Structure 1
């Protein structure tokens, strides 16, 4: 059993590895504010559809397909390959367009903010992250165990039809909305005391429940974005508020099977900034969850919790083609995840929970947000040795890895990209313009390791040892 715990923990981590002060209208809250460019230059293939939210009839839960008034100003200029810009949330590269009575059904894909703005500067020194507007994605196509391509509406393509009912933002404060994905029931929380996800899973003999949170206290943000000639010349983003990490979980197995699942949480928690140079922007908090189980027996349980301080502020700067992460970190343990591990394992019980929190200043909705972003990804790895070895030593091991990703643009999880590209391939018989497959990222991006550590107790040969 030498190094069993250490190897399990390390292996699991590899697996998981000038604002507008007027009150917003109902249409603005539901679909986003309308663009009115003033002091910026847009790219030539951007089509601004007039009327803003009043021209939107509905949008699919995942934000992929928009039903708009066919008589809205410039709606007849839309075509595959163009960039539709109807509101701050209704913006994207047109993948497909089809008539529906007096309306148009427009399916959009991701677009980098430099594909919308050619020249412009946007900045704000103080954005309070409190009282978000909640945009739930309902049951989006990426939430299925075996996802099917999104709706083509009137197209005679053999794919599952999706509802085109409008998404309505949750008007409640506190940022809570329950969603489901890949067998998990989750609800995100945000933002006064942090951004987190509570999750539960009960299927096929495996049960999980837990909460992961990037804690903070009254966070505030500042940003600067300068674009010239369709190229980012300068970008800065900083979120202050004092950040920490907190996790608690319980897991059990009884004749079940291990699984590895990673998915975006189907809700945007948005803080409208207002119009800068006529472009409506929002500060959005979105999250992802990943769970990898490695239970070494058919029966067993494991339970743990821990809390840590991490950093005073999070952010980055970019200028002259060079990135510089700004993470003022001071990692300290407040309550020990290692010491909290308990359970009744017949075999080794291993679990990794990955939690990503992304802060984005920009345009777009759900998967297709683009702008200045900073994402913190935390992985908690826990392993509890078999109780059968307890007379000698019951081994316990934990690992924490914190990484940052930041830049200007967008990123999409690979499974979602595959679904959308499958949809595009089914549309080939109808295409006038050949739209290339979408990519899982666009723009400029960098990554940085913030913190990593592993601990194993007791420090005996049978458990192995992983240096800090």
Structure 2
């Protein structure tokens, strides 16, 4: 596989549907083959017909690929394309637009705007697009990712914030119209808040492979609001991972599917938390970046392997003051994956769980009351069509939950109780997923224009598979400390 310098692309999701784009392609029939070209990085490669693959009859392969795209709205679902692009005139409500590997979906709304078409698409599964074909590739190096950074996306804002920025449906009620987003005004830098007021929230995603001991998919987070502070890191570590996949589709049904990711996986995290007259929280911290490894075309179908992450932090502080911190690291598995054949799924996980750095021995702090914290980190690998808010194809997701508790220092003469729970599970299958906050906002607008709502996910797959679960308390055998429960991943 060719080696390229790791590309970084700030995805222009905040462009309005009326924003400028690439302009008309000089040659709309030309086929772009380089997955790292400017238009391919921005919008994806175009699909091309292939004798070994049959598309579903309602799929429209719009020609020109990314060079036929003007812009994409902030929600990622409305595409402004060149109305003169090959086969664009075949698009209609209910058809499936396939213009690039990042622009594929069922047409919810279509209207002309000058020389352009504004096309709002909804989710599709891979079998909605492909009727017959065998897609497979081995030894995909998970390296040199394209980083799609969304900044502060529409779905991370409150409803009031979104409306204040002009995120409202255009057009008259009762007539479907694409969403518009006014350009986001610059926001002044915010100083750290004083205790009891203000807010600071940030999540930074990192991804690296085969270079150092810190390789992996990692998020670092910081939360500071009204007397409650959290910061830390959570990572799924690996070393030079590779992926193999196979997907057989016949008559619009999946007959066989396999996805395996090798790389010697582990988990690692560290945290600091404190409260001073604050409140307990459950914070879903948006991770506004995904890491995409272009695979190129497989029998004419443009595919990518995408790594995305989500993070959730829940506190259970038993007093109005206290601090706690800790860290831990574990090896997890040599490889992760699953197989599907004859209607049956089966996990393919080579477990190798070992403790490298003790979490429970690292717990420390000044807890005036009981300090409890749950960190849930999810890392998902998708192979298929991939846009920032919509993915369809094969997927494998590792969910890790770390639960920690440290007892009140006021009980130190008796025992300072410390407890940890760790739960790791896998979800996998074939299907699609859209970020839930996007679906909520989009469906609100779709109801206004009388279009049926879209679902956040649809998949063929089994219940989650438990990879590992464990719990530990110290001092052991102390009634005062009780028994911890494993963290729910």
Q: Same fold (TM over 0.5)?
A: yes
2:110 aligned with 1:97: yes
Residue 78 of structure 2 contacts residue 178 of structure 2 at CA under 8 Å; is this kept in 1? no
Separation in structure 1 between the aligned mates of residue 183 and residue 134 of structure 2, nearest angstrom: 35
2:480 aligned with 1:448: no
C-alpha deviations, 1:330-369, integer Å up to 9, x for none? 2111001111111111111111111111111100312211
Residue 319 and residue 160 in structure 1: after superposition, are their counterparts in 2 closer, same or farther (change >3 A)? closer
Residue 241 and residue 378 in structure 1: after superposition, are their counterparts in 2 closer, same or farther (change >3 A)? same
Separation in structure 2 between the aligned mates of residue 360 and residue 194 of structure 1, nearest angstrom: 16
Residue 374 of structure 1 contacts residue 404 of structure 1 at CA under 8 Å; is this kept in 2? yes
Aligned mate of 1:276, from 291, 298, 305: 298
Residue 271 and residue 164 in structure 1: after superposition, are their counterparts in 2 closer, same or farther (change >3 A)? farther
2:69 aligned with 1:56: yes
Residue 73 of structure 2 contacts residue 180 of structure 2 at CA under 8 Å; is this kept in 1? no
Which residue in the other structure is 1:178 paired with?
none
Residue 296 and residue 101 in structure 1: after superposition, are their counterparts in 2 closer, same or farther (change >3 A)? farther
Q: Note the 1:18-417 alignment, pairs <5 A.
A: 22=34, 24-38=36-50, 39-146=52-159, 151=167, 154-156=170-172, 161-163=180-182, 184-192=201-209, 193-262=215-284, 265-412=287-434, 414-417=436-439
Separation in structure 2 between the aligned mates of residue 264 and residue 21 of structure 1, nearest angstrom: 33
Separation in structure 2 between the aligned mates of residue 191 and residue 111 of structure 1, nearest angstrom: 31
Partner SS for 1:422:
helix
Partner SS for 2:155:
helix
Separation in structure 1 between the aligned mates of residue 323 and residue 440 of structure 2, nearest angstrom: 35
Residue 266 of structure 1 contacts residue 366 of structure 1 at CA under 8 Å; is this kept in 2? no
Shift of 1:263: 5.3
Residue 275 of structure 2 contacts residue 320 of structure 2 at CA under 8 Å; is this kept in 1? yes
| Residue range with higher mean Cα deviation, 343-352 or 411-420 | 411-420
Residue 92 of structure 1 contacts residue 368 of structure 1 at CA under 8 Å; is this kept in 2? no
Cα RMSD, aligned residues only: 2.3
Separation in structure 1 between the aligned mates of residue 35 and residue 425 of structure 2, nearest angstrom: 38
Separation in structure 1 between the aligned mates of residue 266 and residue 126 of structure 2, nearest angstrom: 31
Structure with greater contact order relative to length (CA < 8 Å, sep ≥ 6): 1
Residue 237 and residue 191 in structure 1: after superposition, are their counterparts in 2 closer, same or farther (change >3 A)? farther
Which residue in the other structure is 1:457 paired with?
474
Residue 62 of structure 1 contacts residue 366 of structure 1 at CA under 8 Å; is this kept in 2? no
Residue 302 of structure 1 contacts residue 384 of structure 1 at CA under 8 Å; is this kept in 2? yes
Residue 262 of structure 2 contacts residue 335 of structure 2 at CA under 8 Å; is this kept in 1? yes
Separation in structure 1 between the aligned mates of residue 179 and residue 460 of structure 2, nearest angstrom: 35
| Residue range with higher mean Cα deviation, 279-288 or 191-200 | 191-200
Residue 129 of structure 1 contacts residue 191 of structure 1 at CA under 8 Å; is this kept in 2? no
Shift of 1:440: 2.6
Separation in structure 2 between the aligned mates of residue 307 and residue 410 of structure 1, nearest angstrom: 32
Q: TM-score, normalised by structure 1?
A: 0.86
Residue 45 of structure 1 contacts residue 82 of structure 1 at CA under 8 Å; is this kept in 2? yes
Structure 2 alignment gaps of length 5 or more: 1-31, 185-198, 210-214
C-alpha deviations, 1:381-418, integer Å up to 9, x for none? 11111111111111111111001000011234544432
Residue 327 of structure 2 contacts residue 363 of structure 2 at CA under 8 Å; is this kept in 1? yes
Shift of 1:23: 6.2
Separation in structure 1 between the aligned mates of residue 96 and residue 312 of structure 2, nearest angstrom: 32
Separation in structure 2 between the aligned mates of residue 399 and residue 123 of structure 1, nearest angstrom: 39
Aligned mate of 2:455, from 439, 460, 467: 439
Partner SS for 1:388:
helix
Partner SS for 2:345:
strand
Partner SS for 2:171:
coil
Residue 122 of structure 1 contacts residue 277 of structure 1 at CA under 8 Å; is this kept in 2? yes
